[in-house]
Amino acid sequence: MMPIEPVALSFGAALLLGLGYGSGPCNIACLPYLGPVFAATGGGIQGAWRTLLPFTMGRLSGYTLLGGLAGGLGLLIEDWLASPWVHWLLGAATLMVGLSILVRRNQSTCTAACGQTASVTLETGPGEPATSTRQKMLPGGLYLMGFGMALNPCAPLMTVVLASATSASMISGISLGAGFALGAVFVPTIVFAFGVAHFGQQIRHHLSRHRIALENTSIALLMMTGAATALGWITP
């Protein structure tokens, strides 16, 4: 086996690598996971942050952690990323998001059907802990989804990982991972906040008579995507 040549990167170079990745392949990779969420939840541009904030924070955390671990542990991190558990994490997070949307939709339907009494019971009665847990499921699932997306290797990320390992410094690795993360999330955040979120809102508006069917289809797509990812059939 030929020896691996050391790679040196600056924070700015890692940032540019992230921008290049985020401007193209990343948007395509994120669409099957975030697209159904926007179609199911709506909210448009103003409500896009509820979906994008936890997802983006997950990606930022994931890339930064990878850089730090690579700087501290060396090339062992590449073997770690190749293990099946990375797919399992992203698949499970996607399933969690689909289930949380389903639970919230059913809860909202029940509240509207049962009237104010049911609403008061859900908010102040014995079921309050369960309601609080349900409300945390969606942002928690989106955070794990973003974290799982960050752990899926790609050529630019592997360059950053190798450079972090070459530096043999956890602090340097964290800096490179954070630089790549900021670049990688910048363009997708704009595209999904102003493009996909608006498109999802328009779909819900024009198909308002079929809202339940649209939400069910979106949830089903998330479930299938999550299962296929966990099984390794889909690689972001």
Burial of 137 (0-12, 13-18, 19+ CB in 10 A): middle
pLDDT band at residue 77, thresholds of 50, 70 and 90?
confident
Q: What is the mean pLDDT of residues 158-182?
A: 92
- On whether the CB atoms of residues 188 and 27 are closer than 8 A, the answer is yes
- On whether the CB atoms of residues 34 and 176 are closer than 8 A, the answer is no
Per domain, the residue ranges of the chain are 20-230
Q: What is the pLDDT of residues 10-51, one digit of tens each?
A: 999 999 999 999 998 888 889 899 988 988 887 778 888 999
Q: Is the Cα torsion angle 173, 176, 182, 185 positive or negative in sign?
A: negative
**Does residue 106 carry a pLDDT above 80?**
no
Amino acid 60: pLDDT: 97
Q: Count other C-beta atoms under 10 Å from residue 75's C-beta.
A: 14
Q: What is the mean pLDDT of residues 127-136?
A: 52
- On whether the CB atoms of residues 32 and 97 are closer than 8 A, the answer is no
Longest Cα separation, the chain: 71
pLDDT band at residue 122, thresholds of 50, 70 and 90?
very low
Give residue 86's identity as a one-letter amino acid code. V
Please, what is the average pLDDT of the chain? 82
Amino acid 121: pLDDT: 38
